Structure 1
Amino acid sequence: MNYVLRRAVSAVATLFAVSTLLFLLLHIVPGDPAEILLSGGGMAPSQESVEALRSQLGLDRPLWQQYVTYMGNILQGDLGNSFQDGAPIAQEIVKRLPRTLELILTAALLAVVIGMPSGLLAALRRGGFWDGLFSSVSSFGLSIPVFVTGTLLILLFSQILRLVPAGGFVSFTEDPVQHLIYLLMPAFSIAVSLTPVVFRMVRTSILEFLEKEWVRTARAKGLGERSVLVRHVVRNSLSPVVTVLGLHLGTLLGGTVLVEYVFNWPGLSGMLVQAVEQRDYPAVQGIVLVICILFVLINLCVDLLYGLLDPRVRYN
């Protein structure tokens, strides 16, 4: 219980620090948001119109008052309104976030399903054919940028073989089969670069635990090889795999921009790019804040799961 409480307090403190830092960073960026918004047509706005817009947006108030309002709104789940159309930012994020999470979690599932068995086989056949083959393929997967993988998949399966559409989106409730077809290629594009990470970590962990004294002791007592692998090797090797996978999942939250762009997947990253292009500061602030919150929550879940897999962590 103390372990969970410590991790939860640490996560809350991190979120508070991130929120404060994000507020300060966007307020020290050069340029007046009101002036930038009014300059969209290419003509210099009048000082009166700039001041009026600053007052409307609350930018003329002291910084500390803006900060108090900002933190109070966050606690209420209010991320403000877009500078472009005045629409609530939280509503658009709630609509787009599940699409990005679905993309990332599907890619992670593919990476685990492919990476863990291949890593286990490579470790058990160290120096053999399968080890060399899987290691070479993983090095190749790590070296290819994700947008190149996506482009090659579109070229092969959409343009040459004409098996699936090049991109798009249909909600699952509207057409489940078509939704999964649209989801498969972008998820696989991410999984190509994520699978080698899982493979290498599994292979390294398995090789490390196979040399432990208590594994040799279990074998000496007559325990079957399958029981040794399942109960003593694979279970203990899951802890570092979970940690690395959790960190990469958090990174992918802000790293799916190119994938969503290539496959026209309407997720959170596409909204972030659009907000940056339009200098929509509240939207940028809200999206980055949500990504940071999810990153911290994912790491909190990883810490708790790590403590569950390895009880020694809870007492350190």
Structure 2
Amino acid sequence: MWTYIVRRLLQAIPTLLIISLLIFSLLYITPGDPVDLILGTEDGTVSEEQRAVVEEQWGLDKPFLVRYVDFVVNACKGDLGTSYATNQDVFDSVMTRMPATLKLAAFSMLLALMVSVPLGILAALKHNSIWDSLATALATVGVSLPKFWFGLVLMIFFSLRLGWLPSTGSAELSEGLGTFLSYIIMPAASLALGMAATQTRMIRSSMLDVLNQDYVRYARSKGLRERVVIWGHALKNAMIPVITVIGGEVGGLLGGAVVTESIFSWPGVGRLMMNSISKRDYPMIQGITLMLCISYLLVNLFIDIVYAWVDPRIRLDKKS
């Protein structure tokens, strides 16, 4: 197991180098003068002396490859640069916002699983019944609806009309469970909609395949309770392909909550990314993107480890 983990981490190094080069290159050729962005003047009134001082201070006078190598070396030390807009350390700014994004992602995934697992199992057990058709129809609708539109509908209905929930902002668990849930439930539900729909369809399909296997029939022939057969034998094997989907969705949640966090003013990395893009804060955009890529790689490594826990027949050390 540890051999596999170390090998995967080493394989991630060239991937991160390629990603960092692409990020750095794209932002390097993006229109806009970094000096004007740093000084906050875009009318061309910066003198040559001021420009020379700023370029030397921020390393903008160096060639592209030298700047890229400096970026990689500093990133390995935990230094992702300084924000053009706030003059704050990028790494510290991202890490300050990351807990809020992780809480939102975790709650969204939990909410999606609470809906998709029983609904997918019900659809499989009641195959070709009204329950199966209803679950399939709900999953199709969930996949089709845009997340931002669903979030706005929730805000209009539960905040503006009923006044039950706050429309924006966030709260910590230390402020009380009820207060925390009142702030997180709408953005989490907005993100969970599409995930729950996809997972429901996957669980239904996997369960239908597993329920026709010989070992499930054998378990039933032994007189085991239906609940034991479903939860102890069928579901565990049916979840293997579902775990792949969940892993991709978790990675997408970390970087794909930009619009949702902006709508609900959730103080996470996604909202920070949106603000940085609007201000053309290149160092912050680079840092956020790189850290999200690292998070995505770590999530995929974790999913592979979960495979071995769910199905002991999978030997990670023998994988290529």
CA distance in 2, matches of 1:26, 1:153: 36
CA distance in 2, matches of 1:312, 1:6: 20
The offset of 1:223, in angstroms, is 3.9
CA distance in 1, matches of 2:188, 2:133: 26
- What amino acid does structure 1 have at the position aligned with 2:163? R
List per-residue Cα deviations over 1:170-209 (Å, max 9, x = no partner).
3333455323211111111111121101111110110011
List per-residue Cα deviations over 1:221-273 (Å, max 9, x = no partner).
44443332223211111111111011011112221111111111111111111
Other-structure match for 1:280: 281
Kindly indicate whether the alpha-carbon contact (under 8 Å) linking 1:254 and 1:291 is maintained by their aligned counterparts in 2. yes
The range that moved more, 169-178 or 256-265, is 169-178
Kindly indicate whether the alpha-carbon contact (under 8 Å) linking 2:151 and 2:186 is maintained by their aligned counterparts in 1. yes
1:312 match: secondary structure: coil
Query: Where does 1:140-151 land on structure 2 (aligned, <5 Å)?
Result: 140-151=141-152
Other-structure match for 1:84: 85
Other-structure match for 1:171: 172
Kindly indicate whether the alpha-carbon contact (under 8 Å) linking 1:11 and 1:297 is maintained by their aligned counterparts in 2. no
Kindly indicate whether the alpha-carbon contact (under 8 Å) linking 2:37 and 2:85 is maintained by their aligned counterparts in 1. no
Kindly indicate whether the alpha-carbon contact (under 8 Å) linking 1:186 and 1:263 is maintained by their aligned counterparts in 2. yes
Kindly indicate whether the alpha-carbon contact (under 8 Å) linking 1:93 and 1:287 is maintained by their aligned counterparts in 2. yes
The offset of 1:60, in angstroms, is 1.1
The range that moved more, 134-143 or 36-45, is 36-45
- What amino acid does structure 2 have at the position aligned with 1:88? D
The offset of 1:36, in angstroms, is 4.6
Query: Where does 1:5-154 land on structure 2 (aligned, <5 Å)?
Result: 5-38=6-39, 40-154=41-155
Matched, 1:199 2:197: no
CA distance in 2, matches of 1:172, 1:224: 40
- What amino acid does structure 2 have at the position aligned with 1:256? A
Identical amino acids, percent of aligned pairs:
39
The offset of 1:76, in angstroms, is 1.6
The offset of 1:30, in angstroms, is 4.1
Other-structure match for 2:238: 237
Matched, 1:156 2:157: yes
The offset of 1:39, in angstroms, is 6.5
Kindly indicate whether the alpha-carbon contact (under 8 Å) linking 2:150 and 2:190 is maintained by their aligned counterparts in 1. yes
The range that moved more, 293-302 or 207-216, is 207-216
Structure 1 residue ranges (4+ consecutive) displaced by more than 6 angstroms after TM superposition: none
The range that moved more, 242-251 or 229-238, is 229-238
1:313 match: secondary structure: coil
Give the CA RMSD over aligned residues: 2.0
1:311 match: secondary structure: coil
2:261 match: secondary structure: helix
Kindly indicate whether the alpha-carbon contact (under 8 Å) linking 2:139 and 2:200 is maintained by their aligned counterparts in 1. yes
The range that moved more, 195-204 or 301-310, is 301-310
* TM-score when normalising by structure 2: 0.91
- Could you list the runs of 5+ residues in structure 1 that have no partner in the other structure? none
Kindly indicate whether the alpha-carbon contact (under 8 Å) linking 1:205 and 1:240 is maintained by their aligned counterparts in 2. yes
